[in-house]
């Protein structure tokens, strides 16, 4: 762990960062500082300044999520070979029954 000092709203804030994450934390600090500068937060208390910066960032994140396309639907799993074989067997059985019924009807109408 190492410490990184961020300048936000003209005030220094020291935070811990995992090794190798220092540059990322500094970039995030600059993003927060940019929001604070845009809202003119230098004259507010630290807590209020950070609250408004967090609200602005949360609003931006919410807007991005709202604009993002919905996730693709879950893929439907293909039926297993066993299920396919059962379905085919059932279809064949039904086809045979229909053929028998058709023959029965043909014989009944020809006999009349």
pTM exceeding 0.85: no
Report d(CA 40, CA 34) in Å as an integer: 10
Report d(CA 92, CA 13) in Å as an integer: 75
DSSP conformation class of 40: T
DSSP conformation class of 19: T
Write out pLDDT tens, residues 51-70: 888 888 999 999 998 998 88
Report d(CA 35, CA 7) in Å as an integer: 12
DSSP conformation class of 1: -
Average pLDDT, whole number, for the chain?
85
Helix (H) or strand (E) holding 72: none
Three-state secondary-structure class, residue 34: helix
């Amino acid at each position: 762990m190492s410490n990184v000092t961020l300048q936000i709203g003209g005030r220094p804030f020291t935070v811990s960062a995992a090794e190798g994450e220092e540059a990322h934390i500094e970039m995030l600090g600059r993003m927060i500082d940019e929001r604070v500068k845009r809202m003119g937060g230098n004259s507010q208390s630290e807590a209020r300044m950070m609250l408004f910066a967090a609200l602005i960032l949360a609003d931006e994140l919410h807007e991005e999520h709202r604009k993002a396309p919905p996730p693709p639907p879950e893929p439907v799993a293909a039926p297993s070979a066993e299920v396919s074989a059962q379905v085919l067997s059932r279809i064949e059985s039904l086809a045979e029954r229909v053929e028998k019924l058709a023959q029965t009807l043909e014989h009944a109408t020809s006999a009349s």
